Structure 1
Amino acid sequence: MTDVQLYMWIGLALLLLITGFLGYLGYKKTKNVSDFSIAGASLGPVILGLAYAATFFSASTFIGYPGWAYQWGFSSLWIFLTLIFASPLGLIVVAKRARKLNISQKSLSLADWLGDRYNSDFIRVGTALVCLFNIFYIAAQFAAGAWIFNTLLDIPYSLALALIATLVVAYVYTGGSFADIYTDAAQAVLMAIMGVLVFVSIFWMFPGGLTEGFTTIANTLKAKDDTLVSITNSSSIVFYSVPAILGAFIIQFAFSSQPQLFNKVLALKDPKDMRKMILVYLGASVCFILVIFGGLYAAATPTVQVDEIDKAILNYVLEAFPPVVAAFLGVVVIAAAMSTTDGIFVVMSTLVANDVYRKYLVPKGIIKATEEQAEKTALRLSRITVLVVGVIAYILVLNPPPSIGMYIWIGISGVASGTLGPLLIGLFLPSLATRTAAKISLVCGVGSYILILWSGTITSTMAAGAGAVCIGVLAMILTGIFTKGNEDSTFVEEEKFVKNAK
C-alpha cells in the first residue's frame, strides 16, 4: 500500500465517522416530510450558507472544470468568472423574495413552490417531472467519486461506483434534509481548504510569484498551441465562441434556482438572515473555485501526464504535494460529490412524496388517505425514492461519461429550461404571471431544450440550456401579455404578492 492510499483510507474513515454521526443527528430530528425536505425551515444563515455553497459546487468543480482548463487552456477560465458573477447574482435576485413568500405558502420544494404560486397541479407535477433531469447530475457525481477511488486507491471503477452510491444513499435515506445540510456544511470547510491549497501551489511549482508564475504558464501553453491562451478555443465544447460564453453566463445565473439549492433557501429559519447566508456562500465559493487553476498548472507542468482529462487535477496534486495532501484531495472530491448528490436526492424524493403524492394524488382522491396517513406515507415514500433514484443513477454511469462536467449540465439545463420562466416572471412581473403563461413556458422551455439537444445545433450543453431558458422566459412574457386579465386569478393577488415580496 502506498502512502497516498494509506492516508486516503484514514481520511475516508474519518469522513465516514463524521458523516455517520451527522446522519444520525438528522435521523433523530426527522419526524415528518417537512423535516425530510427542508429541515422544518429551522436552520441559521451560517450553516445554510456553507451548505448552499457545498451543494452548488460539486465534484465537477474539483474534477471536471480543472479537466476543461487542462484540455482547452485559458478559455476555460470563463467558467471561473461565471461562477463568481452570474451564479451569486442569481441567488441574490431570487432567494430573498422566494423565501419571504414561502412564509405564507409553506412550500417544500421548487415544484411545490411553483404549484402553490400558480395554484396549478399541472405546474406542480410538470415541474416535478422536469426535475427528473437531475438524475444525470447525480450520476455524474457518482462517476466523479468512483474516479477518485479508482485513481488513488486502485479500486475497479465499477466497485468504486457501487461504494460511493451506497454511501450517499445510506445517510440521505436516514437523515433527509437535516443530514444533507449538516454534512454539506462540514464538507464545505474541507472543499475551501483544498481550493486555496491548489491555487497557492503556483508559488513553488512556478517560481517568481503570481505574475511571473502565470507568465511562465502562458508561455508554456502558447508553445504547445496558440489556442490554449486565447479567450475562445474552437476545440472546446463549452467556450468555443462569444455566444457560447454568453450562454454559460445565462445558465449559471439560472443554476442558482436549481431545486437542490432552492430547498436550502426555504430551510432558512428567519428570512431577515438571507443577507448573512449569501455572504457566507460567497466567501466559501471563492475558495472552492480556485481549484480550477490546477488544470492550467497541470497543463504547464511537463512531468504531469494525463490519459483522461478528468484525472488532470489528481495527477497534478500527486506531483505538486506530499502524499497526505493528495489523499486529502481525494477525500475532498468524495465530500464534494456527496454534498451535491445528497441535496438532489432530497429534492427528488420530495418531488415524489410531497409534490405528486401528498399535494396531488391524495387531494384529488386518486389515492384515499387521511391527513395523518398521507404524512406517514409521504415520509416513507421519500426514503423509498432515494433508493430507486440511487439505482438508476448508478446504472447510467456504469460506463463512465467522456466528461463529467458536460454530463452534469444535461441535468442542470433541463431543469432550468422549464422552471426559470415561471419562477422569475412570477417573482418580478406578477401581472404577467398567469397560469396559462406558466404552463406554456414550462412546455416551451423543456421542449426546445430537448429539440436543441436532439438536433445537435448547439454543441455546448451550457449554451443549449441558455437558449432554452431564454425561449421559456420569452414564451412566459408573451403569453402573459395576451392572457392577463382574461383568466381567473386564484393564486396570490398581485398587490399582496408585491407587498409580501418586499
Structure 2
Amino acid sequence: MSEIQIYMWIGLVLFLILIAYLGYLGYKRTSTVSDFAIAGASLGPYVLGLAFAATFFSAATFVGYPGWAYQWGFSSLWIFMTLIFASPLGLIVVAKRAREMNIKQKSLSLADWLGDRYNSDFIRVGTALVCLFNIFYIAAQFAAGAWIFKTLLGIPYSLGLAIIAIFVVAYVFWGGSFADIYTDAAQAVAMAVMGLLVFLSALWMFHGGFTGAFTHIHNTLAERSADLVALTNPDSAAFYAVPAIIGAFIIQFAFSSQPQLFNKVLALKDPRDMRKMILVYVVSALCFLLVVLGGLYAAVTVTVDHPDQALLTYVTEAFPPIMAAVLGIVVIAAAMSTTDGIFVVMSTLVANDIYRKFLVPRGIVKATPEEADRMALKLSRYTVIVVGVISYILVLNPPASMGMFIWVGISGVASGTLGPLIVGLFFPNLATATAAKCSLVAGIVAYLIILIGDLEQSTMAAGAWAVLVGVTVMLIVGFATRNKGVATEQPSQKSV
C-alpha cells in the first residue's frame, strides 16, 4: 500500500465518522416531513450559505470542470465566469422574494412552492415529475466518488460506486435535510481550502509565480493547437461558439433555482438574513472555482488517460502524499454535498408533493392527517433507497464526461420550471395557472426535442434554449389569460 493510500484510508475513516455523527444529529432533530424536507425552516444564514455553496458546487467542480480545462484549454474558463457571475445573480433575483412569499405558503420544495403559488395540482405534480431529471445529477456524483476510489485507493470502479451510494443513502435516509445541511456546511470549508491550495500551487510548480505560470501554460498549449488558447474551441462540448457561451450564462442563472438549492432558501429562518447567506455563498464559490485553474496546470505538467483524472493526477505531483489524500476526501465530500441535497428533494417530491399534497387531498389515498404525516416521513426515507439504486445502475458504465452528464439533469429541470418561477415572482399579473401549465409543458418538450434530436452539442446550451421557450410561452399565455385570474383550480390543502 502506497503512502497516499495510507493517508487516504485514514482520512476517509475520519471523514465518514464525522459525517455519520452529523447525520445522527440530523436524525435526532427529524420528526416530521417538514424537518426532513427543509429542516423546519429553522437555520441561520452562515450555515445555509456554506451548505448552499457546497450543494451548488458538486464533484464536477473538482473533477469534471478541471477535466474540461485539461482537454479543451482556455475556452473552459468560461465555466468560471458563468458560475461566479450568472449563478449569484440568479440567487439574488430569486431567493429573497421566494423566501418571503413562503412565510405565507409554507411550501416544502420547488414543486410544492409552484403548486401552491398557482393553486394547481397539475403544476405541483408536473414539476415533481420534471425534477426527476435530477437522477442524472445524483448518478454523476456517484461516478465522481467511484473515480476517487479507483484513482487513489485502487478500488475497482464498481465497488467504489457501491460504497459511496450505500453511505450517502444511509445518512440521508436517517437525517434528511438536517443531515444534508450540517454535513454540507462542514464539507464546504474543506472544499474552499483545497481550491485555494490548488490555485497557490502555481507558485512552486512554475517559474516566475503566477505570471510565469500562465505565460508557460499559454505558450505550451499554443504550440499544440491555437484552439487551446482561443476564446472558443470547436472541439469543446461546452464552449465551441459564442451562442453556446451565451447559453451557458443563461442556464447558470437558472441553476440557482434548482430544487436542491431552492429548499435551502426555504430553510432560512429569517428572510432578512438572505443578504448574509448570499455573501457567504459568493466567497465560498470563489474559493471552490479556483480548482478549475488546476486543469490548466495539469495540461502542461501531467498526462492522463481520462480528462476527469487530470486534477487528481496533478495534485499527486504538486503536493505531498497527505495533500493528495485530502483532495480525494474533498472530492468525495463535494459529491456527497450535492447528492444528499438532491436525495432530500426527490424524496420530498414523492412523499409531500405527490402523496401528501395531491393523492390524499384528492381522496385517491384515504388517510387521516396524522396517518398522512407519518406515511409521508416513511415515504421520504424509502424513496431515498429507490433513487439510490437507480442512480447506481445509471453509471455502472462511467459517462464519457461527468461534467456534461450532470447538465442533462440540470437543464431538464430548469427548462420546465424557470418560466413559472420567474414570472410568478416578478410579474404577478401575468402569472396565471394556464400560463404556468403551458410553460411547464413547452419548456420540457422543447428540451427533449433539442436533446433527443441532437440539435445542440452542449447540454448547457440545450437547456438554455428550452428555458427561453418556457419563459416566452409563460409571458405570451400569461398576457392572453391575465384577466381570468391567477388560479384556475381549487387550492390544494396546505396540510392534511
TM range (shorter): over 0.9
Q: Structure 2: how far apart are the matches of 1:490 and 1:225?
A: 58
Report the identity percentage: 73
Counterpart of 1:343? 341
Q: Structure 1: how far apart are the matches of 2:62 and 2:466?
A: 27
Counterpart of 1:404? 402
5 Å-filtered alignment, 1:447-466, equals 447-466=445-464
Counterpart of 2:325? 327
Q: 1:72, 1:236 within 8 Å by CA — same for their partners in 2?
A: yes
Counterpart of 1:476? 474
Q: Tell me, what secondary structure is at the counterpart of 2:291? A: helix
Counterpart of 2:110? 110
Counterpart of 2:435? 437
Task: State the Cα distance separating 1:383 from its structure 2 match.
Answer: 0.3
Q: Structure 2: how far apart are the matches of 1:203 and 1:3?
A: 25
Counterpart of 2:392? 394
Counterpart of 2:247? 247
| Match among 372, 375, 378 for residue 376 of structure 2 | 378
Q: Relative to 1, partners in 2 of residues 1:369 and 1:241: Cα closer, same or farther, differing over 3 Å?
A: same
Task: State the Cα distance separating 1:206 from its structure 2 match.
Answer: 1.1
Q: Structure 2: how far apart are the matches of 1:488 and 1:145?
A: 45
Q: 2:295, 2:311 within 8 Å by CA — same for their partners in 1?
A: yes
Task: State the Cα distance separating 1:489 from its structure 2 match.
Answer: 3.9
Question: Structure 1, residues 242-295: CA drift from partner, whole Å, max 9, x if none?
Answer: 000000000000000000000000000000000000000011000000000000
Question: Structure 1, residues 85-127: CA drift from partner, whole Å, max 9, x if none?
Answer: 0000000000000000000000000000000000000000000
Structure 1 counterpart of 2:128, one-letter code: A
5 Å-filtered alignment, 1:362-373, equals 362-373=360-371
Counterpart of 1:215? 215
Q: 2:49, 2:280 within 8 Å by CA — same for their partners in 1?
A: yes
Q: Structure 2: how far apart are the matches of 1:362 and 1:205?
A: 62
Task: State the Cα distance separating 1:211 from its structure 2 match.
Answer: 1.5
Task: State the Cα distance separating 1:331 from its structure 2 match.
Answer: 0.1
Structure 1 counterpart of 2:437, one-letter code: K
Counterpart of 2:494? none
Task: State the Cα distance separating 1:351 from its structure 2 match.
Answer: 0.2
Q: Structure 2: how far apart are the matches of 1:181 and 1:436?
A: 35
Structure 1: 5+ residue runs without aligned partners?
A: 493-502
Structure 2 counterpart of 1:83, one-letter code: L
Counterpart of 1:128? 128
Task: State the Cα distance separating 1:350 from its structure 2 match.
Answer: 0.2
Q: 2:233, 2:241 within 8 Å by CA — same for their partners in 1?
A: yes
Question: Structure 1, residues 378-436: CA drift from partner, whole Å, max 9, x if none?
Answer: 00000000000000000000000000000000000000000000000000111111000
Q: Tell me, what secondary structure is at the counterpart of 2:484? A: coil
Q: Tell me, what secondary structure is at the counterpart of 2:232? A: coil
Question: Structure 1, residues 188-228: CA drift from partner, whole Å, max 9, x if none?
Answer: 00000000011111111112121222111101111111110
Structure 2 counterpart of 1:436, one-letter code: T
Q: Structure 2: how far apart are the matches of 1:344 and 1:249?
A: 22
Q: Structure 1: how far apart are the matches of 2:319 and 2:340?
A: 30
Q: Relative to 1, partners in 2 of residues 1:234 and 1:19: Cα closer, same or farther, differing over 3 Å?
A: same
Task: State the Cα distance separating 1:488 from its structure 2 match.
Answer: 6.3
Q: Structure 1: how far apart are the matches of 2:335 and 2:363?
A: 39
Q: Tell me, what secondary structure is at the counterpart of 1:99? A: helix
Q: 1:192, 1:284 within 8 Å by CA — same for their partners in 2?
A: yes
Counterpart of 1:495? none
5 Å-filtered alignment, 1:75-474, equals 75-301=75-301, 304-474=302-472
Q: 1:135, 1:393 within 8 Å by CA — same for their partners in 2?
A: yes
Question: Structure 1, residues 311-368: CA drift from partner, whole Å, max 9, x if none?
Answer: 0111111111110010000000000000000000000000000000000000000000
Structure 2 counterpart of 1:415, one-letter code: V
Question: Structure 1, residues 441-460: CA drift from partner, whole Å, max 9, x if none?
Answer: 00000000000001111000
Structure 2 counterpart of 1:357, one-letter code: Y
Task: State the Cα distance separating 1:490 from its structure 2 match.
Answer: 6.4
Q: 1:221, 1:228 within 8 Å by CA — same for their partners in 2?
A: yes
Structure 2: 5+ residue runs without aligned partners?
A: 491-496
Q: 1:97, 1:427 within 8 Å by CA — same for their partners in 2?
A: yes
Q: 2:433, 2:488 within 8 Å by CA — same for their partners in 1?
A: no
Q: 1:117, 1:491 within 8 Å by CA — same for their partners in 2?
A: no
Task: State the Cα distance separating 1:491 from its structure 2 match.
Answer: 8.8
Q: Give TM-score scaled by structure 2 length.
A: 0.98
Q: Tell me, what secondary structure is at the counterpart of 1:277? A: helix
Aligned length: 491
Task: State the Cα distance separating 1:18 from its structure 2 match.
Answer: 0.5
Structure 1 counterpart of 2:181, one-letter code: I
RMSD over aligned Cα, in angstroms? 1.1
Q: Structure 2: how far apart are the matches of 1:446 and 1:409?
A: 14
Q: Tell me, what secondary structure is at the counterpart of 1:485? A: helix
Q: Structure 1: how far apart are the matches of 2:486 and 2:83?
A: 40
Q: 1:58, 1:141 within 8 Å by CA — same for their partners in 2?
A: yes
Q: 2:434, 2:488 within 8 Å by CA — same for their partners in 1?
A: no
Q: 1:187, 1:332 within 8 Å by CA — same for their partners in 2?
A: yes
Counterpart of 1:485? 483
Q: 1:144, 1:333 within 8 Å by CA — same for their partners in 2?
A: yes
Q: Structure 2: how far apart are the matches of 1:322 and 1:138?
A: 31
Q: Structure 1: how far apart are the matches of 2:34 and 2:245?
A: 39
Structure 2 counterpart of 1:466, one-letter code: A
Q: Tell me, what secondary structure is at the counterpart of 2:456? A: coil
Q: Structure 1: how far apart are the matches of 2:217 and 2:196?
A: 18
Counterpart of 2:12? 12
Q: Structure 2: how far apart are the matches of 1:433 and 1:470?
A: 16
Task: State the Cα distance separating 1:33 from its structure 2 match.
Answer: 0.1
